[in-house]
C-alpha cells in the first residue's frame, strides 16, 4: 500500500462533505450571540461625502451599531504589489472622498440581517457629486478630471521593459501588423460570495473568512487594528471558489471585524448578490496597442506592445502587477529578436481592479495570438505553420526571454502539433459561417522566489511550508499554509504524502486554512502555486520522514539502510519479508523514545520550507471551432480542444477538471462577460455568465514534462484553462469572417459587436 497514488485518478476527498451539506463555508458558521451587518455603499461614482446622518438608523428596531467614516479615518489597508513609482501604497477603509459607485461608506449592525438591511436604508448620505471618469484612455486625456488631485495626474505607474532598439527593428521590418485590443472588465464571480463571521473576546480576534490567503488576511487585520499577530486567528475551512477575487482582505471585511471588536459579540456579513459587481474586485480591463514585425520568410523579428491598465478608483492589493505579468509573458512560447513593452496604469471612477484567474496572461495571449493570426492572413500562410516556424524548440530550453523570464522545460511545438491532429472541422449547412482558431501560451506558475518578489515590489514571501507528522498509530497528518478553494489541493497533498511515506491514502489527514494550526504562508493559494510550492515542501518533508523511518528500522533489524524497503505499511529486509517491522511499531517507539539510534530525536515530525529557486513555466495550445450567424452576429463555440503540460500530474482527473472550468471562464470573457459603465460611472449589471448551453464539448490531452525546478516535478495548472480561450475564439471568428478579420480585436465579442462589424465593413 502507498505506492502508485501519484498519477492516479483518485476521487477528491473534499467532495464527500461538500456534496452532503457538511462543508465549512462561512455562511454555515453560527456562533452564540451572533448578530448581522449590512454595508452602506455610495450611489455615485465620484464625489465628496459632506454628511452621514445615522440618527434614523440608530432609532430603527434591533440596531446595535453604526460605523461611519468620521469614526475610522485612521483604518488603512496596504497595497501588497507595488509597481515602479506607485503613488499610493495604502488606502483608507472608509473615507469621505468617493471614487466609485459601491464604495463602502458606513456599516450598520443589527440583531437580524433584515433589520440591518432596513436600517441601512435610513442612513442619510449628503454627497457633492463630481464628474465621473470612465475608461483608461479617457483617464490619460489632458482634460480628464483628477481622482487624486495631489498627484497632478491619473497615471499610477509608467515604465518600460525589454529592448530599447525594438521600435527601430519594427520600423525596418518588411512586414508589420499593428492592432489595438480592448478587454472588457470581468468578475471572478465565485459560487460562494465573500463573507465574514468575526468574534472578539477582548483578547483574541477570531475571523471566519472566505479567503484564498488566511495568513495574509491575519497579517493585515493585525496591523490595521494594532494587534500583535498572535492575537488574530483567521479560519478558512472551505472556500467556494476564489479565482483571485479572495486573495486579500477587503475594506468591508475589515469593517465587520471592527464591528465585532466594538460590540464584543460575533458579527456576520455576507456580500449581497446585487453588490458583487460593485464591490468584489473585477479584472482584465485593459487596452493594448501591439505591433508584430516579421521578415519575408515569416520569421518573428520583434514584438512591441503598449499596455494601458485600468486600475479603477485606486491601486488594490494587486495594484498594477497584473499588467506587469502581461508584459513579462507577452513573448509566449515564441522566438523573438526584440521585445519591448511599455506599461501604464491609471485610475478611473470604477471599482478597483484586482486579481482574476490568469492574472494578466489571457490579455497578453489575446494580443500576441491575434497579431500572429492576422500576420498569417496577410502573408497567406497557414496560422499553425507560422507558429511552428517560430516556436522555441525543446533543445532551446531552458532559455531567458527578452523580458527576463527563464522558461524551464517543455516541448512547445509538440503541443501544437498534437492539437492540430485533434482538431476536426464541424460541417453543417445551416447558413452560419464556420472557422477554427488557435492559440499558444506559456504560463507562469509557482510564484517565487522570495528575493525575486522583493525585487519587483511584492511585499510578501514566495516560499511555502509543510509540516508532516506520523502519529503513534502510523496515521499521517499534513499541515500546510495553502488553502482549498475548490482546486482539489487537499486530495493532491494526501496523494503525495501517501505515496512517499508508504501509507494508505485513507490514513492521511490534511489540515489547511487555519492560521492557528498551519504554518505561515505569505500569499496562500494564488498564482497556480499551491501544489507546486506546498507540494514541493511536502515532497521534501516526506523524503526526510521516510529516511528517518528507514534509519529506525535499520537500527532495530541490525541491517544497513540500503538493504531495506518500505512495503505494505512495514519496513522489511529486501528478499526476506519475515525480517520486518511495521510502521506502527516504528512510530510508537519513536514517539516513546524507545530503541532510538544514537543521536536520534524522539518523534516523527518534519517541517520543511521550500523557497523555489525560480518560477516554473507550464504551457498549452488551444483551439476553438465556432459558428457565426451573419444575420444576428451570434457566435457559438461548437468544439474546443486543449493540449496542456503542467509537469508531473499528481491527479489527472483534478487537472482535467481545472482545465474544463478554466476554459468555461475564458469563453465567458471572450463572448459575454463584461461589467460596462454609463458615462456617469454607474455599472451596468446585466452580467452574462456562460451556461451549459454556451460551453461546448471540451477535449483535453495532457503532456507531462517534469519541472527541473520543483521537488516532485509539478508545475501549476490552476489558471491554464483561462489563458487560451479569448485568443482562440477571436481567431476562429476572424477565420470564419475574413472580411472583418482585421477588426476582430475586442472582448467580449457579443452578437451586437459582431453584427456591427459586419454592418460597418
Q: Where are the domains of the chain?
A: 15-21+463-467+486-610, 31-130+190-242+246-279, 362-444+615-759
Name, in order, each residue with C-beta under 8 angstroms of 318's C-beta and a sequence gap of 6 or more. 80, 81, 244, 247, 248, 281, 353, 354, 355, 359
C-alpha dist (Å) from residue 352 to 79, 211, 343, 504, 685: 12, 18, 18, 47, 16
Which fold does the domain 362-444+615-759 belong to in CATH? Aldehyde Oxidoreductase; domain 4 (3.30.365)
**So what's the pLDDT on residue 761?**
79
Separation between Cα atoms, residue 295 and residue 291, nearest integer Å: 14
CB-based burial label for 62 (10 Å; 0-12, 13-18, 19+): middle
- Which fold, 15-21+463-467+486-610? Aldehyde Oxidoreductase; domain 4 (3.30.365)
Three cell numbers, residue 445: 506558475
Q: Long-range contact list for 588-592, CB < 8 A, 24+ apart?
A: 588/472, 588/473, 589/552, 589/556, 590/470, 590/548, 590/552, 591/471, 591/472, 592/472
Identify any residues that bridge with 684 across adjacent strands, giving them in sequence order: 676
Helix (H) or strand (E) holding 414: helix 412-422
Q: Do domains 15-21+463-467+486-610 and 362-444+615-759 have the same CATH topology?
A: yes
* E strand or H helix at 63: strand 63-67
- H helices, E strands: number in the chain: 20, 32
Q: Which three cell numbers stand for residue 254?
A: 475589515
pLDDT for position 190? 95
pLDDT along the chain (761 residues), means of 10: 80 93 94 98 98 98 97 92 91 96 98 98 98 98 96 97 98 98 96 97 97 97 97 96 96 98 98 92 97 98 98 93 97 98 98 97 98 98 98 98 97 98 96 98 96 95 98 98 96 98 97 98 95 98 98 96 95 93 98 95 98 97 98 98 98 98 98 97 93 96 97 97 98 98 98 97 79
Distance of CA 640 to the CA centre of its chain: 23
Ramachandran class of 457: left when φ > 0, alpha when ψ lies in -120 to 50, beta otherwise:
left
Specify whether the CB–CB gap between 36 and 118 falls below 8 A: no
Helical H segments across 75-165, by residue range:
113-120, 136-139
Whether the CB-CB separation of 101 and 681 falls below 8 Å is answered with yes
Grid coordinates standing for 755?
453584427
Q: What angle do CA 693, 437, 626 make, to 5 degrees?
A: 30
CB 634 within 8 A of CB 661: no
* DSSP for 408-450, written as a single string: ----HHHHHHHHHHH-------SS-EEEEEEEEEEEEES---H
pLDDT at 3 (0 to 100): 54
The sign of the torsion formed by the CA atoms of 186, 77, 262, 212 equals positive
pLDDT at 1: 38
CA distance 657 to 663: 10
pTM of structure:
0.97
Cα distance between residue 155 and residue 142, in whole Å: 12
Peptide linkage before 49 cis (omega within 30 of 0): no
Is residue 400 exposed (0-12), middle (13-18) or buried (19+ Cβ within 10 Å)?
A: exposed
The H or E element spanning position 491 is helix 489-501
* Measured distance CA(487)–CA(244) in Å, rounded: 13
**709: β partners:** none
Please name the fold of domain 31-130+190-242+246-279. Answer: Aldehyde Oxidoreductase; domain 3 (3.90.1170)
Q: What residue has cell string 471540451? A: 698
The half-sphere exposure of 96 on its side-chain side, counting CA atoms within 13 A, is: 12
**Separation CA 481–CA 608 (nearest Å):** 12
Instruction: State the CB neighbour count (10 A cutoff) for residue 85.
Output: 10
Cα angle 502, 657, 392; round to 5:
90
Let me know: does 93 contact 75? Beta carbons within 8 Å: yes
- CA pair distance 540, 612, nearest whole angstrom: 12
Inter-residue contact 128 to 50 (CB < 8 Å): yes
**R_g of the chain computed on alpha carbons:** 27
Which of helix, strand or coil describes residue 564? Answer: strand
Q: How far apart are CA 754 and CA 749, in angstroms?
A: 6
In the chain the first and final C-alpha atoms are separated, in Å, by: 66
Q: Which residue(s) pair with 115 in the sheet? A: none
Q: Containing H/E element for 300?
A: strand 300-310
- Collect all residues with Cβ–Cβ distance below 8 Å to 532 and sequence separation of at least 6: 445, 446, 612, 616, 707, 710, 714, 715, 716
Amino acid at each position: 500500500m502507498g505506492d502508485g497514488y501519484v498519477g492516479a485518478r483518485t476521487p477528491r476527498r473534499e467532495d464527500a462533505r461538500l456534496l452532503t451539506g457538511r462543508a465549512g463555508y462561512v455562511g454555515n458558521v453560527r456562533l452564540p450571540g451572533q448578530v448581522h451587518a449590512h454595508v452602506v455603499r455610495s450611489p455615485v461614482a465620484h464625489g465628496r461625502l459632506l454628511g452621514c446622518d445615522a440618527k434614523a438608523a440608530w432609532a430603527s428596531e434591533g440596531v446595535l451599531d453604526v460605523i461611519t467614516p468620521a469614526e475610522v479615518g485612521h483604518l488603512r489597508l496596504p497595497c501588497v504589489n507595488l509597481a515602479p513609482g506607485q503613488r499610493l501604497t495604502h488606502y483608507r477603509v472608509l473615507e469621505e472622498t468617493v471614487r466609485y459607485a459601491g464604495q463602502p461608506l458606513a456599516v450598520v449592525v443589527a440583531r437580524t440581517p433584515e433589520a440591518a438591511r432596513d436600517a441601512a436604508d435610513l442612513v442619510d448620505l449628503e454627497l457633492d457629486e463630481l464628474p465621473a471618469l470612465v475608461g483608461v484612455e479617457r483617464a490619460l486625456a489632458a482634460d480628464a478630471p483628477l481622482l487624486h488631485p495631489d498627484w497632478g495626474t491619473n497615471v499610477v505607474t509608467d515604465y518600460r521593459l525589454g529592448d530599447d532598439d525594438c521600435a527601430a527593428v519594427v520600423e525596418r521590418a518588411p512586414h508589420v501588423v499593428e492592432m489595438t485590443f480592448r478587454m472588457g472588465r470581468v468578475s471572478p464571480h465565485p459560487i460562494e460570495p465573500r463573507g465574514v463571521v468575526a468574534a472578539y473576546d477582548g483578547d483574541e480576534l477570531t475571523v471566519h473568512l472566505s479567503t484564498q490567503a488566511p495568513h495574509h488576511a491575519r497579517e493585515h487585520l493585525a496591523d490595521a487594528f494594532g494587534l500583535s499577530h498572535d492575537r488574530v486567528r483567521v479560519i478558512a475551512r472551505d472556500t467556494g471558489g476564489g479565482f483571485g477575487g479572495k486573495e486579500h482582505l477587503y475594506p468591508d471585511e475589515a469593517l465587520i471585524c471592527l464591528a465585532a471588536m466594538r460590540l464584543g459579540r460575533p458579527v456576520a456579513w455576507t456580500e449581497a448578490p446585487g453588490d458583487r459587481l460593485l464591490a468584489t474586485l473585477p479584472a482584465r480591463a485593459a487596452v493594448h496597442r501591439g505591433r508584430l514585425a516579421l521578415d519575408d520568410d515569416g520569421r518573428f523579428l520583434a514584438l512591441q506592445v503598449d499596455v494601458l491598465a485600468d486600475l479603477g478608483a485606486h491601486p488594490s492589493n494587486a495594484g498594477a502587477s497584473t499588467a506587469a505579468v502581461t508584459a513579462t509573458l507577452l513573448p509566449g512560447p515564441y522566438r523573438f529578436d526584440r521585445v519591448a513593452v511599455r506599461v501604464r496604469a491609471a485610475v478611473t471612477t470604477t471599482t478597483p481592479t484586482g486579481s482574476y484567474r490568469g492574472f494578466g496572461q489571457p490579455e497578453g495571449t489575446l494580443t500576441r495570438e491575434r497579431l500572429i493570426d492576422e500576420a498569417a492572413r496577410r502573408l497567406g500562410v497557414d496560422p499553425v505553420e507560422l507558429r511552428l516556424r517560430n516556436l522555441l524548440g525543446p533543445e532551446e530550453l531552458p532559455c531567458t526571454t527578452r523580458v527576463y523570464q527563464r522558461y524551464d522545460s517543455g516541448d512547445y511545438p509538440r503541443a501544437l502539433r498534437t492539437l492540430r491532429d485533434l482538431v476536426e472541422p464541424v460541417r453543417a449547412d445551416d447558413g452560419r459561417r464556420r472557422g477554427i482558431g488557435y492559440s499558444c501560451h506559456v504560463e507562469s506558475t509557482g510564484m517565487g522566489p522570495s528575493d525575486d518578489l522583493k525585487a519587483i515590489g511584492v511585499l510578501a514571501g514566495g516560499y511555502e511550508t509543510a509540516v508532516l507528522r506520523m502519529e503513534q498509530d502510523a496515521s499521517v497528518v499534513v499541515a500546510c499554509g495553502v488553502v482549498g478553494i475548490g482546486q482539489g489541493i487537499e486530495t493532491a497533498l494526501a496523494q503525495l504524502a501517501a505515496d512517499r511515506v508508504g501509507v494508505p491514502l485513507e490514513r492521511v489527514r490534511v489540515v489547511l486554512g487555519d492560521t492557528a494550526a498551519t504554518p505561515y504562508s505569505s500569499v496562500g493559494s494564488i498564482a497556480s502555486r499551491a501544489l507546486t510550492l506546498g507540494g514541493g515542501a511536502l515532497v521534501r518533508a516526506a523524503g526526510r520522514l521516510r529516511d528517518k523511518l528507514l534509519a529506525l528500522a535499520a537500527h532495530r533489524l541490525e541491517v544497513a539502510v540500503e538493504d531495506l524497503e518500505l512495503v505494505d505499511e512495514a519496513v522489511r529486509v529486501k528478499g526476506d519479508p519475515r525480517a520486518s517491522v511495521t510502521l506502527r511499531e516504528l512510530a510508537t517507539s519513536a514517539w516513546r523514545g524507545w530503541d532510538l539510534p544514537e543521536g536520534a530525536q524522539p518523534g516523527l515530525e518534519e517541517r520543511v520550507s521550500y523557497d523555489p529557486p525560480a518560477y516554473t513555466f507550464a504551457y498549452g495550445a488551444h483551439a476553438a471551432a465556432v459558428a457565426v450567424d451573419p444575420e444576428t452576429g451570434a457566435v457559438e463555440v461548437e468544439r474546443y480542444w486543449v493540449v496542456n503540460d503542467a509537469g508531473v500530474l499528481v491527479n489527472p482527473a483534478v487537472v482535467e477538471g481545472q482545465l474544463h472550468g478554466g476554459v468555461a471562464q475564458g469563453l465567458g470573457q471572450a463572448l459575454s462577460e463584461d461589467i460596462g459603465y454609463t458615462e456617469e460611472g454607474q455599472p451596468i449589471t446585466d452580467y452574462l455568465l456562460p451556461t451549459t448551453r454556451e460551453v461546448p464539448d471540451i477535449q483535453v490531452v495532457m503532456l507531462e514534462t517534469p519541472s527541473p525546478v520543483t521537488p516532485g516535478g509539478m508545475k501549476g495548472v490552476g489558471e491554464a484553462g483561462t489563458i487560451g480561450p479569448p485568443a482562440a475564439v477571436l481567431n476562429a471568428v476572424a477565420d470564419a469572417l475574413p472580411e472583418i478579420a482585421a477588426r476582430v480585436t475586442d472582448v467580449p465579442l457579443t452578437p451586437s459587436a459582431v453584427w456591427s462589424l459586419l454592418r460597418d465593413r
